[in-house]
Amino acid sequence: VAITASCVRSSKGEPINGILNVRDITREREEEERRSTFISVISHELQTPIAIIKGYASTLARSDAHFDRATQHSRLVAIEEEADRLNKLVENLLYASRIQANGLQMDISSLDLASLIHKVVRRIQARRQDVNITASIPSNLPTVVADRERIEEVLLNLLDNAVKYSPRQQAVSISAHATGEEVIVSVSDSGMGISLRDQEQIFERFHRVGDPMSQATPGAGLGLYICRAIVEAHGGHIWVESTLRQGSTFSFSLPREERAQLPMVVF
C-alpha cells in the first residue's frame, strides 16, 4: 500500500486536521513489474536471434571464407530457424496486443478436432524427428464449433512447449475425450514440471518460470496467455496439472457442437 499524510492548517498556520490516505497499489506495482519484465524479455528474445543471424551471415559472406557444403547448409538452416523465431515473436506480440486492445475476432464453423490434432502432430513431427509424439484420439470424437486457425495455434503452442521444456528424446502425448458437455484435449510431457506457485501465473502475459533451464529455453511468456484468450473466447477453459521434475499435463475444453452458443465477437 502507499500511505500519504497531510495536515490542514488554520489561517494562522496551526494544525487543525490531519488526512491519512491509504491506497492499494498492488495493481500498479504488478503493471510496472510486467512492463519491466516485458522490456527485458523482449530485448533478450530479439538480441539472441539477431546475434546468431548476424554472426552466421557475416562469416558466410566473407570473401575469403571457404566452407564445405554441409557447414554452409547447417549455417543457412540456423539462420532460417532464427528468422522463424523472430517472426513468431512478432506474431505473438501482435496477437497479444490485439487481445488487449479489442478482443479476438473469430471465424467460427463446425470443426473436426480429431483430424486437426493429427494434422498438427504430423506438422511438428516433420520438423522434429527427434521427438516422439503419441496421439490417442477416439475416432468418434464429437465435433466442436470453433475457429480452426486459432485452435491450431493452441495445439501448436501446447505441443511446442511440451517438447521445448522436456529433455531430448522424451515422449510427449496428446489425448482427447468427450464428456456430456465438452471435448477435452490434454497434452502431457515428462519434462521439468512447474511448481504450484508458477502454475498460478504461467497464463499471465510475460510470465516465465525463473529456473535456469526454463530461462535458457527461448520464449517470451506469451504462448499460454494467447492460448487462454483463445480457449476462453470459445467458452472453454484451460488448465495445468504438474509435478516439479516429473512433468506436466496441459488441458483445454471446448463446448461440443450441439452445446455451443455461436459467438460473433468474443472475449
Residue ranges that bind ligand ADP, judged by CB under 6 A: 157, 161-162, 165, 189, 191-192, 194, 202, 207-209, 214, 219-225, 248
Q: Residue 223 or 235: which CB sits closer to ligand ADP?
A: 223
Q: In a 10 Å sphere around its CB, with 0-12 CB exposed, 13-18 middle and 19+ buried, how is residue 128 labelled?
A: middle
Closest contact distance (angstroms) between CB of 114 and ligand ADP is 22
Closest contact distance (angstroms) between CB of 56 and ligand ADP is 23
Closest contact distance (angstroms) between CB of 63 and ligand ADP is 39
Closest contact distance (angstroms) between CB of 117 and ligand ADP is 17
Per DSSP, the three-state class of 143 is coil
Are 190 and 149 a contacting pair, CB within 8 Å?
A: no
Closest contact distance (angstroms) between CB of 244 and ligand ADP is 9
Give the closest residue to 257 by CA, choosing from 154, 153, 178, 139.
178
Q: Residue 128 or 208: which CB sits closer to ligand ADP?
A: 208
Reported residue count of the chain is 267
Per DSSP, the three-state class of 166 is coil
Q: Residue 108 or 187: which CB sits closer to ligand ADP?
A: 187
**DSSP string covering 178-217, please?**
E-SSEEEEEEEE-SS---HHHHTTTTSTT----SHHHHHS
Q: Residue 177 or 245: which CB sits closer to ligand ADP?
A: 245
- For 82, 225, 231, the CA distances from 140, given in Å and listed in that order, are 40, 30, 22
Closest contact distance (angstroms) between CB of 50 and ligand ADP is 17
Q: Residue 141 or 227: which CB sits closer to ligand ADP?
A: 227
For the chain, percent helix, then strand, then coil, each to nearest 5? 45, 25, 30
> Closest residue to ligand ADP, Cβ-based?
219
Q: Residue 207 or 256: which CB sits closer to ligand ADP?
A: 207
Q: How many CA atoms lie within 13 A of 191 on its CB side?
A: 26
Q: Residue 219 or 236: which CB sits closer to ligand ADP?
A: 219
Give the closest residue to 165 by CA, choosing from 228, 117, 221, 227.
221
In our burial notation (b when 16+ CB lie closer than 10 A, e otherwise), range 223-249 reads bbbbbbbbbbbbbbebebebeeeebbb
Closest contact distance (angstroms) between CB of 31 and ligand ADP is 18
